[in-house]
A = this chain, B = another copy of it.
């Protein structure tokens, strides 16, 4: 089974593609750039949703749903937003098809042309702030803390499953506040929620920071982000939280009466993560044998495979394993017992390895006699024989160990692939030979950042929060700099 995957060392990009397809996570559809998320991939996304949704609700947010379509004119209302989002998008121009009078099948009915084109939402700030105008009159209506789970469309030319697709699934939070301070606090709170989720659930170490002006969300005053490092040394932005100031309130005329009785524009944030996280998850932990899933996210945490020579043995194993399965489930562990007789144990082992099931338990007739089971962990591929006494406690402990180990491995990798560059030559050498995160001085101008990007394909991933201040010289221009920022080539 594992021979199915191109090794990472040979072709990382092909390995990723192979893995997504062969672990049954997703595939390309008949519609250019749109993916089909297969049941196993969707089950992982559902687990992400459950964790995130709970964290959003625990921080006081509620869900709602806004229209898929946005009138074209809405995009023009916020000047920088239109540049960022209204260009590569799906445009609905008609609302009816008809039978071709010339017998050419069904065709667009030209009589059913929309007066104003509708854009399939690439993000929902405009339609939501247009709606908020009716919901916000007084400071008593604030804060408004709303999240939406939805599909969005951005007409990307080059697509890759999960990482960049024309349609993707995401959540977008859109909050409204009475003061700039409150909105900034919300922006940071949600960045923290994302970082906690990434580290504790995805086992993905991330660096929190702010984007440079070049990389900001179209319409934001500040874009904060979490940045992760993939196994090939490229960075991946795993979530963003934007402080939007009063830009959208002004564009859509959303004012409130303050406690002091004054009319003021409302302050806004928005924040989102998407099915792109599936790509981050795959690329940070998996290996040449397949997916490696952190237990907190695995749809199946433990698989039990019986080893038998005849149906008599299988019957005995079924009876032996039933209470074992039950005791694990009583601990809240998700267990699959795969006693299909259509596949051999070796095939099953490879299959669950490919699918990243954290713990595999194999039980044969001799185990029954001895009161033991064979336990294999996916992350290290180590096998051990466990006494069956207190197996539930031991497996629970092992799952926690695996979660921690996967995180630690990713963190070690990031530490080993984080560099400091003090000259242009050094910077290029690291980029080309090693990749990774590079802390380097930058003179703070968009021009320099742009030049560096054009020359090296590296971008500023973020200016870390609480960044150490130190005097230095920009690696490109030599102009003075007060802090290092993180550069990397990125997905």
A42 surroundings in chain B (CB, below 8 A): 62-65
Interface members, chain A 117-140 (any B CB < 8 Å): 117-120, 127, 130-131, 134, 140
* Contacts A92-B92, A95-B155, A342-B140; A67 near B118 (Cβ below 8 A): no
Q: Is A146 an interface residue (CB 8 A)?
A: yes
Interface pair A31/B82, CB less than 8 Å apart:
no
**A167 interface residue (CB < 8 Å to B):** yes
Q: Complex Cα distance A89/B97, Å?
A: 7
Q: How far is the CB of A415 from chain B (nearest CB, A)?
A: 36
Q: Is the CB of B106 within 8 A of A82?
A: yes
Judged by a CB distance under 8 angstroms, whether A330 is at the interface is no
* Tally of chain A residues near chain B (CB < 8 A): 63
Q: Is the CB of B169 within 8 A of A65?
A: yes
A308 neighbours in B (Cβ, 8 Å): none
Interface 9-residue window, one of A71-79, A235-243, A362-370: A71-79
Task: Decide: A96 and B88 in contact? CB cutoff 8 A.
Answer: yes
Which of chain B's residues has its CB closest to A90's CB? B92
A45 to chain B minimum Cβ distance, whole angstroms, is 8
B residues within 8 A CB of A35? Answer: 67
Q: Are B167 and A69 closer than 8 Å at their CB atoms?
A: yes
A91 contacts chain B at the CB level, 8 A cutoff: yes
The digit string for A55-87, where 1 denotes a CB below 8 A from any CB of B, is 000000011111111111111100000100011
A232 smallest CB distance to B (angstroms): 27
Residues in B whose Cβ lies below 8 Å from that of A36: 64-67, 131
Contact indicator per residue, chain A 86-122, by CB within 8 Å of chain B (1) or not (0): 1111111111111000000110100000000111100
A138 CB to closest chain B CB (Å) equals 11
* B93 contacts A97, C-beta separation under 8 Å: no
Judge whether A29 is part of the interface by a CB distance below 8 angstroms.
yes
- Asked, given contacts A86-B106, A108-B93, A167-B68, whether A30 binds B120 with beta carbons under 8 Å apart, the answer is no
Contacts of A478 in B (CB 8 A): none
* Min CB gap A214→B, angstroms: 21
User: A37 in the interface, Cβ–Cβ < 8 Å?
Assistant: yes
Whether A43 is near chain B, meaning CB under 8 Å from some CB there, is yes
Please give the distance in Å from A174's CB to the nearest CB on chain B.
12
Q: Which residues of B contact A91 (CB under 8 A)?
A: 92-97, 108
Closest to A117 in B: B108
A residues near B, CB below 8 A?
27, 29-31, 34-39, 42-43, 45-46, 62-76, 82, 86-98, 105-106, 108, 117-120, 127, 130-131, 134, 140, 146, 150-151, 153, 155, 167, 169, 342
Q: Can you give 24 A-B contacts (C-beta < 8 A)?
A: A29-B67, A31-B67, A31-B118, A31-B127, A36-B66, A36-B67, A36-B131, A37-B64, A37-B65, A42-B64, A46-B63, A72-B97, A73-B105, A87-B98, A89-B95, A89-B96, A90-B118, A91-B95, A91-B96, A91-B97, A91-B108, A92-B93, A150-B151, A151-B151
9 residue pairs, one from A and one from B, having the closest CB atoms: A34-B67, A39-B62, A37-B65, A91-B94, A95-B155, A93-B93, A31-B67, A90-B92, A39-B64
